[in-house]
Chains A and B, each alone.
Chain A
Amino acid sequence: MSLTVTLNVFSGRPNPTWTVPEGAAAELSERLSKLTSTLNLKPAGGVSTLGYRGFSVRSGDAQSATFIHGGAVDLGQFSPTLLAKDREIEKWLLSTAGSAVPDNVKAHVKSSLKAKLIDSLQTWHAPKATCPKCVAVDAPAYNPGAWNIPAVQPYNNCYNYANNRITNTFAQPGRATGHMYTQLNTCTGAGGVQLGAISDGLAACANFTAPLTVGQGFYVALVLWPGTDFHWYRQDKVGCWSHKPGSTPVTNLDNAGNPITDPRTANRGGYTTFCSYMITKASVHIN
C-alpha cells in the first residue's frame, strides 16, 4: 500500500506532497511497532508556527492522517501518542521526499530535527498495579504500537488481538473453521461463542496459573454482553491483561481506567458474563 506524505512547512505556498510507493506502509508500520513509549499529549502545532511543523501521512485511500512532529506520532484522537525520541520517523519520512522537497527546505527540516524534544511532552504513566506472574512462556509483549495504527486498528477486533493475529477480517470465533457462533446468550450452549473458539483451536481452562512451556500457548479470556456481543482479553508477558474494544485502540486498562490484573474481576461494562479463561497458541486458526 502506498503512502501520501505531506511536509508541513510553508505558509503561502502549498506544502510539498509526495507518494511513497508499495511497501512503504509496511515499513512505516514496522518502524512504528518499535516505538514503546506513549504520551498523553498530541504533537505541537500545525498552527501559529512558521517553518517546519511536522509531517502528515495518509495510507492508501484512508481518510484520516497520522501526524508526526517533535518526535510525537499522533495516530488519531482515540489513540495514545507514540514517542520517537530520536526523531527517527521524521528523518525517515524526509529521506523519502526525493525531488519533491527543495534542497534548502530539506536543510531547514534537518536543522529543525536536531532540536530537542518539546519540553512540554510528558511520559504517560499507567496507574500503579501489582501484575500477577505470567507463567506462559509464549505470552506476547504488551505492544499497542503494533495495533493502534491506521493500517491495522480499524480492521482487527478483540478476538484478533487476544490471539495476537492481525487478519484484517474483524475475526469472528468459529468462522475460520466452519463453526461460527450463532447465539450470544450462553457461552457453551449450541452455537455459543466459546464453542466457536474451541473449533478454531482454543482450549478452555480453569485459571491462568498453570505453567505453559514453549509451544503451549498463552492465556486469554472470553466474556459476553448477554444476547448482544462478545469480548476477549489476553494476558501479556508483563502479567497484567490487555484488550482491544472493537476497532478502538488497544489498552491495558478496564472500563473504570484501572489496570487489569484479572478479567474476571475487572470492570467490563455491559459484558457481565464471564465465560472462561482459555488458552490460545500458534496452531489456532482464526478469520
Chain B
Amino acid sequence: MEAELDVFSGRPNPRWVIPAPESERIAAQLAALSQPADPPAMPGLGFRGFVLRSDRLTARLFGRRIVLSEPGRERVFHDTGALHADLAAEARRRGFASLLAAPPPDDRP
C-alpha cells in the first residue's frame, strides 16, 4: 500500500510505502467503513489530505470524508479522523509537518 500526502502543485507529492501488517490493518479499516456521507468540497491549492493506493482500491482522505474508488464504483464515507491522524503522525515523522493543515470542521449534516 502506498500513501501520498496531497499538497503540492508543481513538485510531485511526498509518497511512502506502508508495509504489512500495517497495510492490512488499514485495508481492514477501509473495508469496514459504513457511514455514507456527502462528498467533500473540491480542494484547491495547499494541503488536500492523503491518498492511499493498493491493488484493489484508492482511498482519498479529506475534509472528514473518505472517498473509496474501486473498479466500477466510487463511495463516500464519514471519516472519524483516526486514520487521518495516523497518516498525519507518519507524515510528521518523515519531516512533512509544515505541509499539514487541520482538516476543515465537519459542518455538513
Contacts and interface: CB of A to CB of B under 8 A. Distances in A.
Interface of A: 4, 6, 46, 56, 58, 63-65, 67, 76-78, 157-159, 170, 172-173, 193, 225, 228-232, 243-249, 251, 253-255, 268-271
B70 A246 contact: no
B72 A170 contact: no
A223 to B, nearest CB: 9
B44 A245 contact: yes
B14 to A, nearest CB: 11
A248 B10 contact: no
Contacts of B93: none
Interface residues of B, number: 31
Nearest to B72: A56
A231 B9 contact: yes
A248 B51 CA distance: 12
Nearest to B40: A77
A245 B73 contact: no
7 contacts: A58-B72, A64-B58, A77-B40, A78-B42, A229-B8, A231-B10, A249-B42
A65 B10 CA distance: 25
A232 B10 contact: yes
A64 B69 contact: yes
Nearest to A162: B10
Contacts of B46: 225, 255, 269-270
A230 B11 contact: yes
A261 B98 CA distance: 30
B60 interface: yes
Contact of B58 (A63, A159, A170, A225): A63
